[in-house]
Structure 1
Amino acid sequence: MSLPELCSLIAANHGRDDVDWLFLARTDEVGEPTPLLTGPAVGLVAAGAKRAALGDRTYDYRAGQYLAVSVDLPVTSTYTEAPFLGIGLWLEPSAIAELLLDTDRSVTRAANHPGIAVSDASPELIDAFTRLLRLLDRPDDLRVLAPMIKREIVWRLITGPQGAMVRQIGLADSTLTHVGRAIRWIREHHAEPLRIEELARLSRMSTTSFHRHFRAVTAMTPVQYQKSIRLHEARLLLVDRTHDVTTVGYLVGYESASQFSREYRRQFGLPPGRDAERLRHANA
């Protein structure tokens, strides 16, 4: 087991898209901050360093460390040291719940876990990711052995430093799960008016408790979270070229074109039209 071997495997397999539950990252340059929407996942750095920003919090992690995310969050990601090589795995609530039940692992619930955290990776976790990548060129082995290694990775996570947070993903009655209902509602209905009382009721909390737990998990208020989701969705629509700036602002929930442009520029650094042109040129 070694990070150099993991680096070699990531470099050799980067760009393949035949395994949708695994993602590989490789870049030779540091870059501009990139806003993205992420869900429950773990990302391990094999070389280089990266920074994730969520609200007013920043999380720096480098070779031998991993970032765990437990809910859908709008983060801004930046490669801060290159060359960078990383591997990630989506975390499935059902797989975590099944493992907790099978192992009779303690499921004590603790309030106010953040939805994102960084920790050092154990040698066992690095080894599991390495063995998983070795399977990619052996389809029969991948089909049979990958589920076992994925289960091992989940086990290493729930018994590791961020275990309390990761275990919450699989608990149907956890605070994280309740807040997650509100997060999913906002993502799916981001263009609609926000009614905090209804979100609190959906999360089975009082309004005061909901505000406290929501901010603890996302580092944002519900209104700030909705705004971030709206702007991320607007960016995707603009790059697609289907609608003009005013129409996009309306589609994601803005009634004022000037407010949309102002908040978009504050979030992404450029007015909507210019930012969309830059992204299209970069992806051409």
Structure 2
Amino acid sequence: MNEKNAEYLSLSTKLAVLAELVSSLARAEGDHVTNVPGLSLHRRNQPSEPLHCIYTLSVALTIQGGKQVLIGDVVHELGPGKSMITTLDLPVVSHVVEARRHQPYLGILFQLDIAQILAVNTELDLSRPHKGDTFQSVSIEQADAQLCDAFIRLLQLPMQPEMQPHLAPLIQKEIVIRLLTGPHGLHLRHLVSEGSPSEHISRAVTWLKQNFVHSFSMDELANRAHMSASTFRQHFRAMTGTSPLQYQKQLRLQEARELMLNQQMDASRASAMVGYESASQFSREYSRLFGAPPQKDIRRLRHNS
């Protein structure tokens, strides 16, 4: 058996172990937040409808089944063993495309901490990305057996509550080390590389996320990123797949949807809360993004939950 075949068999074995662990911890269909900080498990027994959501700084691992993630106008396919790093808060359209009751879609999502990434990057004294290196806000790679091993040990912690507080931080740091030194590493190092365009865009995205209810000019955002308006717009679109104004609009509409769904808020009040002055404009843009007017969309979401 050659080295490549041995590596494939090793990864297949690790994925089988992960599938068993996730199935035992997430017995019902849905999204399951574990008591391990930052770790959630995801199970679908059948293909799902496309869902608009925000992906934050995280690593996702598809264990079984398959899903598609649409970012901008690019469709990303995620099958078993595919890992995806998201380095910015990105509006995406995600849906499970391969799942059956007896072989459900199974996935892991682990939230990353930028302070820890910076600390580990400094501790390891990793090389700075070159100016000519291409940076992407989303990185998709085949996971290796070592990364799967770390996730296996992290998923075993809920069954070892007395050990969890001591071991979880060590395993979480190991995951960050493996991501920084593996195929995803370039994109994570770009994120924490001081003074790089990606670091400036990341700061602008963070400001936008905190202030999306307010109006702003392109020049104001560009100044925050220490770029000209045209350069800022170009880098922003390259990293997020959309324009700054479109990004703000999607943040507003996502937040309004959450307010109506989880806080029983009506559309008029929700639209005002997220910065819309015109209820009719809100309804038009909401329908364009989610495929139905606010009231109808919320009824559909509650019926499917």
- Give the TM bin, normalised by the shorter chain: over 0.9
RMSD: 1.7
Deviations 1:255-274 (A, max 9, x none): 22222111111111111111
The 8 Å contact of residues 36 and 157 in structure 2, kept in 1 or not, is answered as no
The residue number in structure 1 matching 2:122 is 101
Secondary structure at 1:187 match in 2: helix
Deviations 1:136-177 (A, max 9, x none): 211232222222221221122112222111123333433222
The residue number in structure 1 matching 2:223 is 201
The residue number in structure 2 matching 1:8 is 20
Unaligned runs of 5+ in 1: none
Secondary structure at 2:265 match in 1: coil
The residue number in structure 2 matching 1:269 is 291
- Aligned mate of 2:256, from 234, 251, 254: 234
Q: Which moved more, 1:37-46 or 1:141-150?
A: 141-150
Query: How far did 1:89 drift?
Result: 1.0
The residue number in structure 1 matching 2:111 is 90
Q: Which moved more, 1:228-237 or 1:103-112?
A: 103-112
Secondary structure at 2:246 match in 1: helix
Structure 1 segment 1-284 matched on structure 2, within 5 A: 2-14=14-26, 15=32, 17-82=34-99, 83-110=104-131, 113-240=135-262, 242-283=264-305
Percent pairwise identity: 37
AA in 2 matched with 1:234: A
AA in 2 matched with 1:34: L
Q: Which runs of 4+ in 1 moved over 4 A?
A: 109-112
Structure 1: distance between partners of 2:58 and 2:183: 15
Deviations 1:182-201 (A, max 9, x none): 11222222121121111111
Structure 2: distance between partners of 1:246 and 1:143: 45
Structure 2: distance between partners of 1:143 and 1:259: 49
The 8 Å contact of residues 109 and 174 in structure 1, kept in 2 or not, is answered as no
Q: Which moved more, 1:4-13 or 1:141-150?
A: 141-150
Structure 2: distance between partners of 1:98 and 1:60: 32
AA in 2 matched with 1:74: P
Instruction: Output the TM-score relative to the length of structure 1.
Output: 0.94
